[in-house]
Amino acid sequence: MKIAIIDVNFDFSSTGKIVKDLMIYFESVGHEVQAFYGRGQSNLTQLSVTKISNDLETYFHAGLTRLTGFTGCFSYFSTKYLIERLEAFKPDVVHLHELHGYYINIYTVVDWLKKNEIPVVWTFHCEFMYTGKCGHSHECNKWKSGCGECPLLKEYPASFIDQTAHMFSKKKKLFESFEYLKIVTPSEWLLGRVKQSFLSNKDSRVIFNGIDTDNVFYPRMTSPQKLTGFDFSKPIVLAVAPNILDANKGGDWVIELAKRFTSELNFILVGVNNLTRHYPDNVFPFPKTSDQSELAEFYSVSDLFVICSKRENFPTTCLESLSCGTPVIGFDGGGTKETAPLPYGKFVEYGDLDSLENEIRKFFNRTSSLADANQCRDFALRTYSKQVMAQNYLNLYQENFG
């Protein structure tokens, strides 16, 4: 089978890592794969990985989006180049991931796929394709009937002009007569949102995201070098997120939580942009790390992983923590609780700090029902390995298009 995979990244960001893992697995079992990506740089130089955009056109695309409010409508040359490569490759199936990100004309590409009746699997990692523009609609439900007068206009992809009503209609029309389409989401929560949108009549299902449970995210016997001289006499609670102090990522909730355990627990925050801010004595901030092995060491040295995000689709950090043997406690936001069902995780209502504190106390008092390190690790191996994810996608291709 000839498989083309398209994403904004390759081997960078959570979706870019997924694309790389899928490509390597499919090739290992005898399929021919071409991966196309839009932004950043790949560490792989083989001919099967192609960057389709250039930075200058990406900047123009972003600027035009900001000025006009039209999203995913530009990048003429990058789009033309991608279609030429697809025409030459002649794929049996095209697997789409994130098409937003200022690198491609989404509508031209999808119209070409429809016209040529090419089977498509489209993994939604966010809400962008059924809203007027938003990757995360938060409390706004206009996407259920029709966008306009957008309350999130200044959030990504930001613009000066509100074109969300027009873009909503444009996306809705795009999916009409799209016969050879299978939609995939990584969580039941996001699937439920799809089912409430104009895509409710499309074939859609859940396939969990996968991670490298063998070579990267496994229990480490060493602690991060950054923790040299660290006082390990108190248990460690870890929180990880890019820009974790952003209101949506919940870092301030974690800091407030730490104040309730001043003499009992140490809290480590990874993904902090402002290291000069004053933190409680038991809070230890660290910047975002791109070193996956170091991140695995942070998970492994911690006794508990806590996540206080306002809403996530299917946070990879929870999968990584479980794979390193560390259970999860946090707020129930979006698809977060699906990543660590009982007994591997415990979630409380968003913003209920008292209940969150209570669950953490029960865990460290050994009165909770959470699984131990070996059980968490075994669950992650069975459920979240990249091999399991890739085989599930391959089964989908073959059952429907093979």
Q: Which domains does the chain have, with CATH numbers?
A: 2-210+385-401 (3.40.50.2000), 225-384 (3.40.50.2000)
To the nearest whole number, what is the mean pLDDT of the chain?
Answer: 95
- 305 closest CA partner among 282, 272, 285, 330: 330
The DSSP string of 337-386 is: HHHS-TTSEEEEETT-HHHHHHHHHHHHTT-S----HHHHHHHHHHHHBH
- pLDDT at res. 281: 94
| 51/34 Cα distance (integer angstroms) | 11
Which residues, 6 or more positions from 366, have their beta carbon under 8 angstroms from its beta carbon? none
| 244/252 Cα distance (integer angstroms) | 8
Residue 13: pLDDT band (50, 70, 90) is confident
- pLDDT at res. 230: 87
Q: What percent of the chain has pLDDT over 70?
A: 98
Residue with tokens 């309730």, as numbered in its chain: 260
Report yes or no: 221 and 293 within 8 Å, Cβ to Cβ: no
| 299/163 Cα distance (integer angstroms) | 43
pTM score of the predicted model: 0.93
Quick: pLDDT tens for 263-298: 999 999 999 999 989 999 999 999 999 899 999 999
Residue with tokens 């106390």, as numbered in its chain: 361
Number of Cβ within 10 Å of residue 29's Cβ equals: 10
Q: Give burial (CB, 10 Å; 0-12/13-18/19+) of 193.
A: buried
| 141/139 Cα distance (integer angstroms) | 6
Strand order in the sheet with 49-51: 49-51, 32-37, 2-7, 93-96, 120-123, 181-185, 204-206
Residue 203: pLDDT band (50, 70, 90) is very high
- pLDDT at res. 43: 67
- pLDDT at res. 45: 62
- pLDDT at res. 40: 83
| Per-residue DSSP letter, 199 | T
- pLDDT at res. 66: 98
In terms of pLDDT, which residue wins out, 64 or 46?
64
Amino acid identity, position 74: F
The tokens describing 294, both together, are 């170091």
**What mean pLDDT is predicted for residues 31-45?**
86
Q: What percent of the chain has pLDDT over 90?
A: 92
Number of Cβ within 10 Å of residue 282's Cβ equals: 19
- pLDDT at res. 401: 82
Quick: pLDDT tens for 319-359: 999 999 999 999 999 999 999 999 999 999 999 999 999 99
Q: Is the predicted pLDDT of residue 129 greater than 80, yes or no?
A: yes
Question: For 107-256, where are the E strands, in sequence order?
Answer: 120-123, 181-185, 204-206, 236-240
Torsion of CA 138, 143, 145, 151, to 10 degrees: 70
Q: Is the predicted pLDDT of residue 44 greater than 90, yes or no?
A: no
In terms of pLDDT, which residue wins out, 11 or 196?
196
Quick: pLDDT tens for 211-252: 999 999 999 999 999 998 888 899 999 999 999 999 999 999
Number of Cβ within 10 Å of residue 373's Cβ equals: 15
Phi and psi (nearest 5°) for 265? -135, 150
Quick: pLDDT tens for 137-185: 989 999 999 999 999 999 999 999 999 999 999 999 999 999 999 999 9
Quick: pLDDT tens for 360-384: 999 999 999 999 999 999 999 999 9
